[in-house]
Amino acid sequence: MRRSRLNLFKATSMTISVLGIIMVIITIGIIGYLAFYSISSIISTDVGSGSAYDKLASLKADYNNLNNQFIETKRNIDKLGDVNATIAYNNAELEIIRAQSDIGDVESAINSKKSSEEVNNRIKIARDQLGVATQALRDLQAKY
């Protein structure tokens, strides 16, 4: 009977040890998976924000070029001294101010780490508004 209890104790002890080792391996596997997932998520977020910064830089460059054209057009309209031309210029200038505001929204979204979908949506809005401002300038230049 003593031998039987000893064998039972050995078997139980061995089973508990094996289960402990299996639990440790599973725990290490889960922690490894979570670490890999979080690192890959950070890397993909950084890549996405990098392209967003590139698009933002492009928007700012386009805005600066358009703003310079607006400044040149303002000089020409001021030389005319026509009240209607000044009113038309002010209306066109509102469009470039809206574009500047939309570009600021894009920069804010990037800096506050909004989702890439939100950032891309704001980039599209800013790009569209730059197009509206460009068209307003062309119409103004064609008229005066």
User: How many whole angstroms separate alpha carbon 83 and alpha carbon 89?
Assistant: 10
According to DSSP, residue 115 is labeled -
> Is residue 88 within 8 Å of 73, Cβ to Cβ?
no
User: Is residue 48 scored above 70 in pLDDT?
Assistant: no
Give the pLDDT confidence score for residue 118 in this predicted structure. Answer: 92
Q: What is the pLDDT of residues 110-141, one digit of tens each?
A: 989 888 889 999 999 999 999 999 999 999 99
- Cα separation of 130 and 28, whole Å? 53
Cβ–Cβ < 8 Å for 53, 110: yes
CA distances 24 to 12, 13, 28, Å, are: 18, 17, 6
The DSSP call for residue 112 is T
Domain segments of the chain as ranges? 2-143
Residue 49 above 80 pLDDT? no
The helix/strand/coil state of 55 is helix
Between helix 2-80 and helix 83-111 the angle, nearest 10°, is 170
Q: Give the architecture (CATH level 2) of 2-143.
A: Up-down Bundle (1.20)
pLDDT band at 7 (very low <50, low <70, confident <90, very high): confident
Question: H or E segment at 144?
Answer: none
- For 8-47, write each residue's pLDDT tens digit: 888 888 999 999 999 999 999 999 999 888 887 776 655 5
Name the residue type at position 80. Answer: L
* Distance of alpha carbon 60 from alpha carbon 99, whole angstroms: 10
